[in-house]
Amino acid sequence: MADEPIFRVLGHLEAIHKTPSGWDARCPGPNHKHDDRHPSLSVGQGNDGRVLLKCFAGCATDDIVRALRLEMKDLFPQVIDNVRRIPYRLKSNGEVRAIHERVETPEGKRYTWKQPNGESGLRGLKLEDMPLYGIDDIPDTGPIVLTEGEKSAQALLDLGVPAVGTVTGAASTPSAAALARLQGREVWLWPDNDAPGAAHMQRIAEGIQPPPRLIYWRAAPDKGDAADYVAGGGQAADISTLLVEIAVSQHSWTLPQLLRAEFPPLRWAIPRLLCTGCFIMAGKPKLGKSTLLQRVSADIVRGAPVLGKIPCERGEVLYLALEESPRRMQTRLMQMLGEDKPPEGMTIATWWPRADKGGMEDIEAWLKEAINPRLVVIDTFVRFKPPDKGKMGDRLYDRDYDSIVPMVSLALKFNISLILVFHVSKAIPDDPLEMVSGTLGLTGAADGVMILKRERGQATASLFVTGRDVEERDLALRRDEEDLSWALLGDASEYRLTAERAELLKILEQQPGMKPAEIADAIGWLARRVRRLLFSMAHDGQVRIRDGHYYPPVDTAPLLLFEQHRTAES
Ligand SMILES: [Zn+2]
């Protein structure tokens, strides 16, 4: 401790008096006529061990340092025998709880823990409960940047950016108590540019409300952090331009390494209506949400046009019908399928463990078993999510929000669509979104929302759909009570294949795997026109592309099987 800069500087000062926050001393600076008989210099210690000098007569720090026959660098922790020790003080409520000493040697850096009196160790305190670096000094308002480690936080503080740093290392996570003072504040997370750093911030993001935002420094070097940003000349004013939203689909998930990653293309369980992600289906009870979703599920497993109109790619569906009896499901599906051969690929469960009792793991297991999973429906989500208990103080919003976050992660992880069904008892307002945001408060958590509205006794209904990757639309549907089919009425033309698209699809069905130039030759079109149309069709989920070869959207399971088989052989 004796080599700390504070003791070196105090050794050069006169008329020193201890004060609650540091020391007073005679200022040797130029602004004093009578030798500064009433000491004007306040001497303190920064949280990182640097010496803070302030003269109340306004002498500049470098004038004071020069008068003391010191150099500016003497105010900072020094390199001694090739080792620099930076004692970061972790304070809470004005008291130093521990010192986290960064030891920089030619071999690298390490940290040691010391008690405020200089003895080693944490004195029984838990690492996770340690105060964040700088938490005692955060301003009352405005955003706060949270970095991994004290060095990055201090680098930002030196730029004048309000910042705090985690002290646990990337492998651990600050406890709720350690994060408490960030709750309700606008927090910007600045992860180190490596996988452990991203995971560290991801775990923290899950524990902070409102959801924090993420600083994504695209030009960061490998392992680069906020300290590197500052060292490279990065400016405080530019930091806000690096902000990205951690949409909850990224809560799970997409911190910098994922943002950087090549994402698989969005998969559309229903082209332009239902893509990869977690969707909420809401509507009053007994409107037919379940029959609609069961119909859609049956269409998808058969690769039949969804709602009789929208061509889709065949895939497997898991349907958790948690409010149904097996008998009712049987009756309903028989009615729905009529004479059709029962399709393979649909798993129906009328009981499933709740999310916190192994239900999530069981869904994951199903997804891993499936060859081409496309859709999981949880009908209803209230029968699946962990039961609410002992949290009556929390708003409904928080509880539902928390329970949806892992579902969003799951959908993203397996690149599938996930639909959570909610009954809404209230009257439906004119703006359908208001219903979900007001009653359930869920639009922030999920990737999309579907709202089914129907006047009781009427055969037509409207399905309002919106989402991050889905255009907002209001579709008119008609229910046929006989075979429980739902047919798309309005807006359907957008999904119908145009004659041109149908022609391309026909030739691909005859000869899967053709390239645009080959198709152009075969049908006498310009290759450019074929390429452009195929591109749009691929986007809309009407064809599949692989290594420049195009395939029809349906009947892909055998294709995937073949590829799996081939991989196993090679
Ligand atoms: Zn002075």
* Window from 34-43, 262-271, 496-505 with minimum mean pLDDT: 262-271
Confidence (pLDDT) at 253 = 44
* Window from 123-137, 193-207, 340-354 with minimum mean pLDDT: 193-207
Helix (H) or strand (E) holding 102: strand 95-105
Q: How far apart are CA 379 and CA 317, in angstroms?
A: 13
What distance in angstroms lies between residue 60's CA and the mean position of ligand 1's atoms?
A: 8
As given in the structure block, the two tokens for residue 540 are: 């809309």
Helix (H, G, I), strand (E, B) or coil at 84: strand
Confirm if 450 and 462 have CB atoms less than 8 A apart: no
Of 403, 412, 413, 410, whose CA–CA distance to 422 is shortest?
403
User: Across residues 229-244, what is the average pLDDT?
Assistant: 86
pLDDT at 191 exceeding the cut of 60: yes
Residue burial 385-414, b: 16+ Cβ < 10 Å; e: rest:
beeeeeeeeeeebebbbbbbbbbbbbbbeb
Q: How far apart are CA 537 and CA 529, in angstroms?
A: 12
Confirm if 466 and 449 have CB atoms less than 8 A apart: yes
What distance in angstroms lies between residue 64's CA and the mean position of ligand 1's atoms?
A: 7
Residue 386: pLDDT band (50, 70, 90) is: confident
As given in the structure block, the two tokens for residue 129 are: 């409960």
What distance in angstroms lies between residue 76's CA and the mean position of ligand 1's atoms?
A: 20
Across the chain, mean pLDDT equals 81
What distance in angstroms lies between residue 156's CA and the mean position of ligand 1's atoms?
A: 28
User: What are the Cα distances from residue 243, in Å, to 17, 105, 184, 188, 214?
Assistant: 46, 34, 18, 8, 6
Q: CA angle, 169 as apex, 163 and 172 as ends, to 5°?
A: 110
In the chain, residues under CATH classification 3.40.50.300 are 268-494
User: Across residues 244-259, what is the average pLDDT?
Assistant: 48
What distance in angstroms lies between residue 411's CA and the mean position of ligand 1's atoms?
A: 63
The CATH code of the domain at 499-569 is: 1.10.10.10
pLDDT at 419 exceeding the cut of 90: yes
Partners of 310 in beta bridges: 306
What distance in angstroms lies between residue 56's CA and the mean position of ligand 1's atoms?
A: 6
Which is higher by pLDDT, 526 or 426?
A: 526
What distance in angstroms lies between residue 193's CA and the mean position of ligand 1's atoms?
A: 44
Residues 536-563 pLDDT 10s = 777 766 787 777 788 876 533 222 222 2
As given in the structure block, the two tokens for residue 31 are: 């602004």
Confidence (pLDDT) at 66 = 94
Confidence (pLDDT) at 431 = 60
User: What kind of architecture, by CATH, is found in domain 268-494?
Assistant: 3-Layer(aba) Sandwich (3.40)
What distance in angstroms lies between residue 44's CA and the mean position of ligand 1's atoms?
A: 15
User: Across residues 46-73, what is the average pLDDT?
Assistant: 93
What are the DSSP E strand ranges found in 380-531?
Answer: 417-423, 448-454, 460-467, 473-480, 485-488
In the chain, residues under CATH classification 1.10.10.10 are 499-569
Residue 225: pLDDT band (50, 70, 90) is: very high
What distance in angstroms lies between residue 12's CA and the mean position of ligand 1's atoms?
A: 15
Which is higher by pLDDT, 373 or 432?
A: 373
Confidence (pLDDT) at 458 = 58
User: Across residues 96-114, what is the average pLDDT?
Assistant: 92
Of 239, 97, 98, 43, whose CA–CA distance to 157 is shortest?
239
* Window from 156-170, 425-439, 516-530 with minimum mean pLDDT: 425-439
What distance in angstroms lies between residue 8's CA and the mean position of ligand 1's atoms?
A: 19
**Beta 51-55 vs 95-105: how paired, if at all?**
unpaired
Confirm if 100 and 109 have CB atoms less than 8 A apart: no
What distance in angstroms lies between residue 35's CA and the mean position of ligand 1's atoms?
A: 10
pLDDT at 260 exceeding the cut of 60: no
What distance in angstroms lies between residue 55's CA and the mean position of ligand 1's atoms?
A: 5
pLDDT at 13 exceeding the cut of 70: yes
pLDDT at 128 exceeding the cut of 50: yes
458 Cβ neighbours under 8 A, 6+ residues apart? none
Confirm if 314 and 301 have CB atoms less than 8 A apart: yes
Query: In the structure, how many helices (H) and strands (E) does the chain have?
Result: 17, 26
Is residue 303 exposed (0-12), middle (13-18) or buried (19+ Cβ within 10 Å)?
Answer: buried
What distance in angstroms lies between residue 136's CA and the mean position of ligand 1's atoms?
A: 28
What distance in angstroms lies between residue 43's CA and the mean position of ligand 1's atoms?
A: 12
What distance in angstroms lies between residue 41's CA and the mean position of ligand 1's atoms?
A: 6
Residue 424: pLDDT band (50, 70, 90) is: confident
Say which CATH topology domain 121-260 has: Dna Topoisomerase Vi A Subunit; Chain: A, domain 2 (3.40.1360)
What distance in angstroms lies between residue 34's CA and the mean position of ligand 1's atoms?
A: 11
Confidence (pLDDT) at 563 = 25
Residue 439: pLDDT band (50, 70, 90) is: very low
What distance in angstroms lies between residue 195's CA and the mean position of ligand 1's atoms?
A: 49
What distance in angstroms lies between residue 58's CA and the mean position of ligand 1's atoms?
A: 6
Helix (H, G, I), strand (E, B) or coil at 322: coil
Q: What is the DSSP string of 449-484?
A: EEEEEE-TT-SEEEEEEEESSS--EEEEEEEETTTT
In the chain, residues under CATH classification 3.40.1360.10 are 121-260
Confidence (pLDDT) at 250 = 40
Residue type, 215: I
Confidence (pLDDT) at 53 = 94
Residue type, 557: A
pLDDT at 36 exceeding the cut of 60: yes
What distance in angstroms lies between residue 51's CA and the mean position of ligand 1's atoms?
A: 16
What distance in angstroms lies between residue 38's CA and the mean position of ligand 1's atoms?
A: 11
Q: How far apart are CA 202 and CA 182, in angstroms?
A: 15
What distance in angstroms lies between residue 24's CA and the mean position of ligand 1's atoms?
A: 12
What distance in angstroms lies between residue 337's CA and the mean position of ligand 1's atoms?
A: 90
What distance in angstroms lies between residue 446's CA and the mean position of ligand 1's atoms?
A: 59
What distance in angstroms lies between residue 257's CA and the mean position of ligand 1's atoms?
A: 50
Q: How far apart are CA 565 and CA 275, in angstroms?
A: 27
**Beta 277-283 vs 448-454: how paired, if at all?**
parallel
